[in-house]
């Protein structure tokens, strides 16, 4: 998985002719080889352009500043938002959890096995229950209890600011405030235990049972102040029958939650996700 | 597919000991062989018992009255709702349609090919567009136009009452009144073009695109006066990406609609579906 | 998950009239309530009958002997193979493993969380690598190294005979001999890392890549002397693309292996699986 | 679906730096806007580079010759295989069929409804049975009976050469000779009624039943002289149970065949498929 001298370039801007050529020209001028390129334009009026480019450049560290200068020039010309990510620098991730361990352990396990390209730098919880499980992976577990949300969030921000590139809510049963999300200055991925927008809110499995649905699902999305309304990264479902109780639906759903969250975090780790309004582009 | 001397017995009652034995005993007494038996009890307090039995009985037609008398006796003892269906008597079905043809043609096609055990006795539409397609299958097409709903429903009921065992709304873009559903005295299956309860109501594909979901689906359910709230018979989804427009989502969704509706109608045709409150048991 | 006074009755015999009634009659006579009943008959000439019945009987332990006597009488009459399983007695399972940990940990994890109704009594391996992971679950890890297969199997049988109800090969990279399987007197479930019968044998992921398939899968089956030919319990697949290397296919496939094996073991644990020639009936 | 002034450029060559930039530069020089660009490089030694570019160029018809000259120059420099397809020119397709109608009707139906971007110019069959169904779509049906394969293929080639861009074998139960495939000078897509490479050859559904698989599938691939071994374009599966007979597996499989073939033909119609040895790249 180690990819020395490899970078990922993400671009978003208004659609207009010549973008691919201009960017590819800059890369060629700097001696970079394009390993892969995915591009998408929305087809509506005043379309939007998105591009992910994986490039290989010998001596990336030394050449990066010059490359960024050239990219800045092109970006200014086309009005681009852009970011350049060193593929050898894994994202530092904090996982928030309450008492459910299935999503947490799935992430820790995949990271340990090399199936998830992140560094889990800490696990934060409002309950002490999972300390031992977490520490057995060699990962710090920080218990921040309390009922005063603003005090809890203050302590969380002290831990996180500057130290993490991503926060993952792995069934963290608390709502984060708008202030927290703004102050964090890092994206937050949440797993919701239903196929959104069905069963927004609490107790989705009980409500799925009550409504008699034939499939249950899970949704990974970027957390926003508007609960359960953030841009969806990944979803999946599994078939259920009338013979399964609400408790069994929950157990079945936990398997979907684990895999959906793991995929969403991996795609984010690979710089594949660009937010576009209330939705995402996965490149 | 022809199953002479075969019947399907559906039972629903409060759960209590001895039901299976009592029914199986009656069947054995009458010389019937149990071809298959599926049974389900809800596990909540005051559980409910459901059973579907396929039985073979030589000379069913002649023996039926005596068998029904014995079943009535057992049913009275256990407080059962029950029905006995001759498997050789295919259900007579009317299909309601507006302008979309994909669900309609899927049903006609499967019925013609012997993949759907129904007799389509008529197609009813508020638009004349699909007359030729329908008649090429040798099926009558009845055009009932109009803007006066009560007049339209009066004419529809004249056609249907006593003539059909099931009405299928194959993307019929009109709401049926509570009066109509009551007077019809036959079940009605509707196909909704979303994964209910997500995107209840109109324009689900446009709203799915706007919300950025990663899966789109369809739901077949029994129609009730409360629109989109009837007991769900079958659902399915298909994976979509950001690269697909709302029009492409609609096209992709049409494939799901076709298959979901065909499965739901086939299960109903095979007497596999028992309504239980707002949900269904599929045996 | 605790189910006191609950038993599962499995029956297989040649199809003939009156089986369900006879068995249900015996159960009713002994005061047992049928919680669920699934029955299947093959439709070919000289059909075969299969039935799984979950029954509740107050004071099961005390009443069991009398019930078994009555069942023996019915079984003799119909030529049944049958078995009665106490639902409160979890099966004792040994897991065999080599170096891959993903299937092993999935089973240990689910068992610990109460999602898998087995007692893992030991893990046996020809490599020492996974000792610590296993013991952290409080499960004994027995390292049986060696190159002399008959000596290894002799030691394995000493450990297993009388001590386990099931052996699970969780990516155990050794072939078991016919003698071992016969002497063990317990069923063995294996996970094969392909969608059998495609890619029987070694290196299925590399061969799947070479062949350009669009789906990769995994298969859980009962182990027989004829490698990869045992009765299939469960299979599943996942979609892959040209963009994924053989190593990535392997990583993707590991997720399928985990879930397929976990489902197969759970179904076996719930006494849902009856072998029928080279295939299985799942009730 | 009409896309005036739009073209699709397919490129395959040995991987080397500067390809994307060179091609994008040519397109920009000619005033073409890149609507979408997908690119893939194999990661093995001596990797291979594939690119599909959708471009918009006002006055494409008039500008095409000059563009092709510039592309030829770049192609010579990089050793590219390439082709430029006018998106407004739908491919002319002949469908070969025997007696099964499900795949044929699915294609005709989608083409009629605008869900499949092809022109079906003729249907060729060795049986007369489906003439009426085909002609009701306004498509010519040509019956070429016979037992002399070389005479049949001679007549087929007379019909096809120069008249079609693609031949689709929609359950055509005859083997085409190597000579035919060579002389045709157009690609041929076949639908195989199993999840290849499982159940290569005849009667896959009966063999799937016998082997007890839990999923059945279908495979669309380019036909080659080596039967069932051509590059796979698309595959899918559906879950089945022990309760389904071989005939029911066949009926279930027909639904998979229809959808898999329709997807493969659509991808080919959109110039998304590049053959790479025994596999395909779908862009």
Q: Does residue C139 form part of some domain?
A: yes
D181 belongs to a structural domain = yes
Peptide bond into D197 cis (omega under 30): yes
C-chain residues near B3 (CB < 8 A):
none
Catalytic residue chosen out of the listed positions C15, C101, C119, C228: C228
Q: State the sign of the Cα–Cα–Cα–Cα dihedral C227, C229, C233, C237.
A: positive
Sign, Cα dihedral of C165, C170, C171, C173: negative
In this model, does residue C247 exceed pLDDT 60?
yes
- Listed residue (D54, D21, D34) closest to A17, CA to CA: D34
Q: How far is CA A187 from the centre of its chain?
A: 7
D1 is a domain residue: no
Q: Which residues of chain B are under the pLDDT cut of 70?
A: 1-2, 44-46
Domain-embedded: residue A177? yes
CATH number at residue C32: 3.30.70.260
> How far is it, in rounded angstroms, from Cα C242 to Cα D281?
6
Nearest CA to C210 out of C236, C251, C249 is that of: C249
Block residue for tokens 């479902």: A237
For C95, left (φ over 0), alpha (ψ -120 to 50), or beta?
beta
- B232 with B182, same domain: the answer is yes
Of the candidates D36, D251, D259, which has its C-beta nearest B115's C-beta? D251
Same-domain pairing of A135 and A170: yes
Burial of D86 (0-12, 13-18, 19+ CB in 10 A): middle
Is the separation of the CB atoms in D257 and D171 below 8 Å? yes
Contact A113, A119 (CB under 8 A): no
Which 3-state string (H, E, C) describes chain D?
Answer: CCCCCEEEEEEEEECCCCHHHHHHHHHHHCCCEEEEEEEEECCCCCCEEEEEEEEECCCHHHHHHHHHHHHHHHHHHHCCEEEEEECCCCEEEEEEECCCCHHHHHHHHHHHHCCCCEEEEEEEECCCCCHHHHHCCCCCEEECCCCCHHHHHHHHHHHHCCCCCEEEECCCCCCCCHHHHHHHCCCEEEEECCCCCCCCCCCHHHHHHHHCCCEEEEEEEECCCCCCCCCEEEEEEEECCCCCCHHHHHHHHHHHHHHHHHHHHHHHHCCCEEEECCEEEEC
Of C105, C243, C255, the CB nearest to A259: C255
Residues B180, B66 share a domain: no
Rounded Cα distance between B114 and A109, Å, is 50
Contact of C247 with C273, CB cutoff 8 Å: no
Positive or negative, the Cα torsion across C58, C64, C68, C69? negative
Are B275 and B218 found together in one domain? Answer: yes
- Cα separation, D6 vs D56, in Å, equals 5
Closest CA to C253 of C204, C198, C188: C204
Alpha-carbon radius of gyration of chain A = 21
Residue-wise pLDDT tens digits, A105-122? 999 999 999 999 999 999
Q: How many CB pairs under 8 A join B and C?
A: 62
Q: Which residue from D132, A125, C33 is spatially nearest to B18, judged by alpha carbons?
A: C33
Give the residue from A52, A70, A86 where a domain finishes: A86
Q: With b meaning 16 or more CB within 10 Å and e meaning fewer, what string describes C164-179?
A: bbbbbbbbbeeebeee
> Could you read off the pLDDT of A241-274 as tens digits, one per residue?
998 988 899 999 999 999 999 999 999 999 999 9
Helix (H) or strand (E) holding C191: strand C188-192
Domain check: are B181 and B201 in the same one? Answer: yes
Sole residue written with tokens 């409080």: C138
> What was the ipTM of the complex prediction?
0.91
Non-local (6+) Cβ contacts of A267 within 8 A are A233, A234, A273, A282
Query: Which candidate from A21, A33, A35 shows the least CB-CB separation from D27?
Result: A21
The token pair that represents D135 in the structure block: 């002609």
D-chain residues near B109 (CB < 8 A) = 105
Q: What is the CATH number of the domain that holds C255?
A: 3.40.50.170
| Count of structural domains within chain B | 2
Please tell me whether residue A15 adopts helix, strand or coil conformation: coil
Q: Residues with Cβ < 8 Å from A72, sequence gap 6 or more?
A: none
pLDDT for the residue numbered D33: 87
Q: Are residues D125 and D25 located together in one domain of the fold?
A: no
Domain finish residue from A27, A59, A86: A86
Angle, helix C60-78 to helix C19-29, in steps of 10 degrees: 150
* A163 and A227 assigned to the same domain: yes
User: What does the alpha-carbon distance between residue C11 and residue C89 come to, in Å, rounded to a whole number?
Assistant: 19
Tell me: the pLDDT tens digits for B93-112? 999 999 999 999 999 999 99
Measure in Å the smallest separation between the Cα of D3 and chain A Cα atoms.
Answer: 12
Collapsing DSSP to helix, strand or coil, B275 comes out as strand
Q: Does residue B1 form part of some domain?
A: no
The chain A residue lying nearest C254, using CA atoms, is A115
D151 is a domain residue: yes
Options A228, A236, A255, A271, the catalytic residue:
A228
| Cα–Cα distance, A266 to A166 (Å, whole number) | 12
**For position B58, what pLDDT does the model report?**
93
Q: Which of residues 21-50 of D touch A (CB under 8 A)?
A: 21-22, 24-25, 27-28, 31-41
Examine the fold and report which residue of D86, D111, D130 is the final residue of a domain before the chain moves on: D86
Residue A174: per-residue pLDDT = 86
Cα separation values, B83 from B7, B141, C35, Å = 10, 31, 22
Residue A2 has pLDDT above 80, yes or no: no
Exposed, middle or buried by CB within 10 Å (0-12, 13-18, 19+), for C79?
A: exposed
Q: Could you tell me the pLDDT band of residue C44, with boundaries at 50, 70 and 90? A: low
Contact B21 C21 (CB under 8 A): yes
* Smallest CA–CA distance from B255 into chain D, residue: D259
D37·A33 Cβ contact <8 A: no
Interface probe, candidates B138, B243, B251, B283, chain D, greatest D C-beta count within 10 A: B251
Given the residues D5, D86, D119, D228, the one annotated as active site: D228
Residue-number span of the structural domain to which A135 is assigned: 91-282
Question: In chain D, whose CA is at the least distance from the CA of A56?
Answer: D17
What digits encode the pLDDT tens for the residues A161-189? 999 999 999 999 888 999 999 999 999 99
Helix, coil or strand: residue B235:
strand
Active site residue A38: no
User: What letters, b where the CB count within 10 A reaches 16 and e where it falls short, cover A47-60?
Assistant: ebbbbbbbbbbeeb
Is A138 contained in some domain? yes
Q: Are residues A52 and A112 in the same domain?
A: no
What local confidence, expressed as pLDDT, does residue D2 receive?
60
Cβ distance B109 to D113 less than 8 Å, yes or no, reads no
* Same structural domain, A194 and A115: yes
For residue A143, how many other CB atoms are within 10 A of its CB?
A: 14
Chains with 3 or more CB pairs under 8 A to chain D: A, B, C
Cis peptide before A210 (omega within 30 of 0): no
CA distance A75 to C114: 54
Q: Which residues of D touch A41 (CB under 8 A)?
A: 35-36
**Domain shared by D100 and D240, yes or no:** yes
The pLDDT, as a whole number, for residue C45 is: 57
Phi and psi dihedrals of B182, rounded to 5?
-70, -45
Express the helix, strand and coil content of chain A in percent, nearest 5 each: 35, 30, 35
The percentage of residues in chain C with a pLDDT greater than 90, rounded to a whole number, is 81
Same domain for A174 and A62: no
**Does the beta-carbon distance from D105 to B109 stay under 8 Å?**
yes
Rounded Cα gap, residues D26 and A24, in angstroms:
12
Q: Domain check: are C248 and C134 in the same one?
A: yes
Residues near A194 by beta carbon (within 8 Å), at least 6 away in sequence: A200, A204, A205, A208, A216, A217, A218, A219
- Whether residue A184 contacts residue A96, with contact meaning beta carbons closer than 8 Å, is answered with no
Instruction: Provide Rg for chain D, Cα atoms.
Output: 21
Question: pLDDT tens digits, residue range B159-196?
Answer: 999 999 999 999 998 889 999 999 999 999 999 999 98
Look at residue C256 and tell me if it is in a domain.
Answer: yes
Residue by residue, pLDDT tens for chain D (283 residues) are 567 899 999 999 999 888 998 999 999 999 998 888 999 888 765 689 999 999 999 999 999 999 999 999 999 999 999 999 999 999 999 999 999 999 999 999 999 999 999 999 999 999 999 999 999 999 999 999 988 999 999 999 999 999 999 999 999 988 899 999 999 999 999 999 999 898 888 889 989 998 999 999 999 999 998 877 899 999 999 999 998 988 899 999 999 999 999 999 999 999 999 999 899 999 9
């Amino acid at each position: 998985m180690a990819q020395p001298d490899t970078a990922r370039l993400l671009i978003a801007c208004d659609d207009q002719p010549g973008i691919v050529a201009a960017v590819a020209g800059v890369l060629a001028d700097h001696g970079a080889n394009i390993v892969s390129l995915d591009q998408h334009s929305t087809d509506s009026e005043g379309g939007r352009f998105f591009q992910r480019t994986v490039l290989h450049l010998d001596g990336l560290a030394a050449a990066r500043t010059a490359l960024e200068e050239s990219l800045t020039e092109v970006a200014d010309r086309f009005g681009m938002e852009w970011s350049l990510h060193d593929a050898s620098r894994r994202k530092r991730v904090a996982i928030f959890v309450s008492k459910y361990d299935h999503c947490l352990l799935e992430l820790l396990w995949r990271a340990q096995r090399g199936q998830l390209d992140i560094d889990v730098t800490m696990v934060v919880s409002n309950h002490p229950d999972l300390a031992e499980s977490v520490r057995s992976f060699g990962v710090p577990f920080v218990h921040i209890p309390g009922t005063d949300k603003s005090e809890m969030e203050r302590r969380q921000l002290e831990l996180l600011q500057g130290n993490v590139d991503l926060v993952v809510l792995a069934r963290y049963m608390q709502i984060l405030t708008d202030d927290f999300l703004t102050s964090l200055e890092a994206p937050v991925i949440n797993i919701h235990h239903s196929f959104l927008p069905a069963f927004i809110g609490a107790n989705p499995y009980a409500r799925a049972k009550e409504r008699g649905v034939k499939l249950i699902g899970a949704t990974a999305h970027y957390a926003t102040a508007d609960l359960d309304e953030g841009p969806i990264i990944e979803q999946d479902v599994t078939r259920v029958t009338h013979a399964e109780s609400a408790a069994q639906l929950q157990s079945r759903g936990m398997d979907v939650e684990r895999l959906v969250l793991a995929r969403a975090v991996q795609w984010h780790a690979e710089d594949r996700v660009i937010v576009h309004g209330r939705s995402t582009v996965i490149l």
